Structure 1
Amino acid sequence: MKYELVVTDIDGTLVDDDKQVSEVTLRYIDKFREKGGLFTIATGRGEKAARPFIEKLHIDIPAIIFNGGELYHSETGPLYVHYLDKNIFNLVIDCFLGTDLGIVTYHRDRIFISDYKPPHDLYMAQERVDVERVPDIKEVDEVNKILLVGDVGKAKQLIRNLEVKNGIKINHVQTEDVYLEVIPDGVSKGEGLKELCSYLGVPIEKTVAIGDHMNDIDMIMAAGCGIAVENAMDEVKKIAKFVTKRNTEDGVAHVLKKVLNL
């Protein structure tokens, strides 16, 4: 088989606009596995939000979560975890506490907020996960990432200002129209894919990666065959080797059927 491993983003790629995986997609995933293929997800979601998809898809190999910050196996737990540098964490939190953007932080399967703002309603409606309310968000010791919800253009400018003021680089990536994520230095889905390939013993040229947003670009470029869904951002489609159908038209199933000749 030319490609041994398929890795797909979840939101905007694997699932439809109601966050559902179609029966057609599930069927083709099973067919791929029957031929000896390996299938998993790569997502910005943490353990809690990724777990329902891991279970529904019967994923039995590690998943790339937190945009590559953690390689997670549902049975044995994390194979590695990268946490945000505490100095970067404090700088970003101090910068955004007084703004109208919502701040969400993560530690493994726990999700935290402190000062509740209207953008948090967007987050809660989209992610459908439970969060813990804490008096001071800076009390959370180890953080996988910071999610900033709201005006992404404003968030990017404030991050740039922080970088210039402090003479540093802050690893950040847009993951949705209203999401900007601050993640540990060196972390990306592309690096996560390389780590996964090393763990599985699969040559990276024998991988397929599918995505739709800016945080998928590194992974799509790293894979043997990088694919964008039709509804992907233009920047993503430009670097993809192949553009499949939309997420609402079983784009992942189309990849498995056409590219992998199932």
Structure 2
Amino acid sequence: MIYRLLALNIDGTALQSNGRLHKSTKEAVEYVQQKGIIVTLVTSRSFPSAKKVARALKIKTPIVTHQGSYIASLQEKPIYVKRLNEEITYDIVSFLEVLPCQIRLVHEQFSLANKFKLNNNLLARTVFTSGDPVLYSQQFVSSLTDHLHGQPVTPPKIEVYFEDKKDLEDTKIALGKMFTEIEIIELDPLRLDIVPTGGSKLDGLAYLGSQLGIALHEMVAIGDGMDDIPMIEAAGLGVAMGNAEYPVKRAADWITRSENEQGVAYMVKEHFRKQQPIEFLRKMKIIKK
């Protein structure tokens, strides 16, 4: 099979557990791009945060962010945006604010969250995944509903961090019954992402592919999270990181090494070194587009 696009999750995939890019990952991305293979990022991160990683990897293709609700290149306007409207955002926040959780409205230009205090580890992860504080405005307010009364927000995504797994499970069921306009994505036992219908990672990747003239079966998708499973299953080659949980590995066609063992670089070496450059394949009329 000839693959024309490589899609990478960021946290736990492109980045090591310390949040840094390994030199081998940069070299692997450069290697496949030189072969004419398009590389993109598909992430739950906000666009400003993901853009920083894309620049480090020298990715010029539009990247899929906010779980799939916001797709844009580094310099140009977005090509795909799905938003939760003002009314639904307010109703979701009203429901969530009575629960012990942190609620974060993640816009492409800022984030807005309540001041609920989680334990230190979870709070650190919340800040880390939502964007770079230097480039990205992060505001905390006592009451989100009060704030939204005067300043409505239409975010591509809402992140919710719980302290109790049962609260997450009950919330997922309740919101699923209350709204047909949203998708509820469970990232781990204590975090939900809420996006508009059609705003998942798979939806975003499929849309990007349609704009580039690349079908899902011509893609390689690499990830480690539960939210990566749909795109891993849909891609021509779905790859799970060695650090992924069992359900992710079960969904994959191939399992590479962990993020700290340079799993992306290892996968590229094992698969893409065997594939001729895209331009050569066109000249030989092996592919037509």
Equivalent of residue 123 in structure 2, options 121, 124, 137: 121
The aligned residue for residue 203 of structure 2 is 191
The answer to whether the 8 A contact 2:3-2:219 is kept is yes
CA distance, structure 1, for counterparts of residue 89 and residue 216 of structure 2: 32
* Separation of aligned partners in 1, 2:180 and 2:131: 34
Deviation at 1:91, TM superposition (A): 2.8
Cα deviation, 1:80-125, whole Å, max 9, x if unaligned, reads 1100144432232112212221111112121111334235733125
**d(CA) in 2 for partners of 1:43, 1:225:** 18
Q: CA deviation at 1:161?
A: 2.4
Aligned-pair CA distance for 1:169: 6.9
Give the conservation status (yes or no) of the 8 Å contact 1:190–1:221: no
- Residue 100 of structure 2 aligns to which amino acid in structure 1? D
2:191 counterpart of 1:179:
yes
> In the alignment, is residue 200 of structure 1 matched against residue 212 of structure 2?
yes
CA contact (8 A) 1:25 1:250 kept: yes
Q: Deviations over 1:193-242 (max 9, x none)?
A: 11111111223221100011111111112211111011112111111100
Higher Rg of the two aligned structures: 2
**1:54 aligned counterpart, secondary structure:** helix
Of the candidates 135, 139, 144, which is equivalent to residue 132 of structure 1?
139
Counterpart of 1:110?
A: 110
Given that 2:220 and 2:238 are in contact with CA atoms closer than 8 Å, whether structure 1 keeps it comes out as yes
TM-score by length of 1: 0.91
Q: Are 1:209 and 2:221 matched, yes or no? A: yes
Extract unaligned runs of 5+ from structure 2.
Answer: 275-289
Count of aligned pairs between the two proteins: 261
Q: 2:3–2:220: 8 Å Cα contact kept in structure 1?
A: yes
Q: Which amino acid aligns with 2:24?
A: V
Deviates more, 1:110-119 or 1:90-99: 110-119
- Conserved 8 A contact 1:159-1:170: no
Show the 5 A alignment for 1:1-262. Answer: 2-118=2-118, 121-122=123-124, 123-124=126-127, 129-130=132-133, 131-134=138-141, 136-138=143-145, 139=148, 140-151=152-163, 152-164=165-177, 166=178, 168=180, 170-176=182-188, 178-261=190-273
Unaligned 5+ runs, structure 1: none
Q: Which stretch of the first structure deviates more once superposed, 244-253 or 77-86?
A: 77-86
Q: Secondary structure at the match of 1:261?
A: helix
Q: Could you tell me the TM-score, scaled by structure 2's length?
A: 0.83
CA RMSD in angstroms, aligned pairs only: 2.1
